[in-house]
Copies of this chain bind each other. A is one copy, B any other.
Amino acid sequence: MRTFVAAADMGRFQDAADELAITQQAVSKRVAALERALGVRLFARTARGAKLTVDGQAFLPHARDLLRAEERAVDSVRPGRRALRVDVIGRRLAPADLVRDFHRAHPGIELDVVTLFDADAAIDAIRSGTVDASFRAVTRGQLPAGIGADRAFDEPIQLLVGPGHQLADASAVTPAELVGHRIWMPGIVAGTEWAAYYGDLAAAFGLTIEVTGPDFGVKPLLDTLADSPSLATFVGELTGFGWPADQGLRRIAVKDPTPVYPHSLLWHRDNAHPALAALRGHHVSGSGGLSGAGTWTPAWA
């Protein structure tokens, strides 16, 4: 592909060969192989060089695109000049949407979104420079030296139930009213900050949260919820807008107090990546913390 582009630019196979530091015959063979693979003739060979055919002209910009894509791919893992790498707790959860918003607001900034195991892994990755920023709920004051944290936003937790659930018609519930109800949250992996948050939430109000069962994904969870008169689950207020058909599922606000999930933006103080400042500025100015009267967060947050 690179040979084709070089030959098209130069207009002569020999010049392309010089640029690529190979022989003219090698260029000829490469182009011939490409033409054979595509099934079309890309160059019209003349006595004065090689001019592009119509197919070649149409193919050329796509070939350039391919080379650019390759360059971006290589750069994405090249230390030093690589895109801003942001860890989110899940690709379908609220922080991922925020990163998407940021990307829309700053289309010129290259972003790579990754998902690490938990907050500890994220902190390690930030310390080692593997990632540049992370949206995680963390224990403030226990952060290693060099790691900074902005309380990016607090996401209120809602109850998600099927249409036949006992609470389906409630406009809002209090945590105390949830005592005794079965709250099912497969996919919460033990040891993560997710598990710590919901564990503390359950302990604080005497709730029953089942984390048993393998996680088959969002769809089966929603299907099960929709058909169950007793199962409920917690979901973030900003989470799930891309989910499949809701089958009559109801979102019920939780109040008095409202549990909020404390998303913080973590970064390394030594990280001079220019896009990092933009990301921090975007989210700090975007929304302040909601914590205060009427909300609940774990003591460690």
Contact = CB atoms under 8 A, between A and B. Distances in A.
A58 B38 contact: no
B59 A77 contact: yes
A6 to B, nearest CB: 16
A58 B72 contact: no
A58 B76 contact: yes
A49 interface: no
A222 interface: no
A77 B58 contact: yes
A270 to B, nearest CB: 18
A73 interface: yes
Contacts of A87: 54
A294 B55 CA distance: 41
The size bracket of the interface on A is 35 or more
A73 B83 contact: no
A73 B63 contact: yes
Interface string A159-174: 0000000000000000
Contacts of A196: none
Contacts of A131: 54
Between A58, A74, A82, the greatest number of chain B beta carbons within 10 A of the residue's beta carbon is seen for A58
Nearest to A122: B54
Q: Could you say which of A42, A55, A59, A115 has the most chain B C-beta atoms within 10 Å of its C-beta?
A: A55
Interface of A: 1, 38-40, 42, 54-55, 57-59, 61-63, 65-66, 69-70, 72-74, 76-78, 82-83, 85, 87, 112-116, 125, 130-131
22 contacts: A38-B74, A39-B77, A39-B78, A42-B77, A54-B87, A54-B116, A54-B130, A55-B130, A57-B112, A57-B113, A57-B115, A58-B85, A58-B112, A59-B73, A62-B73, A62-B76, A63-B73, A65-B73, A66-B66, A66-B69, A66-B70, A66-B73
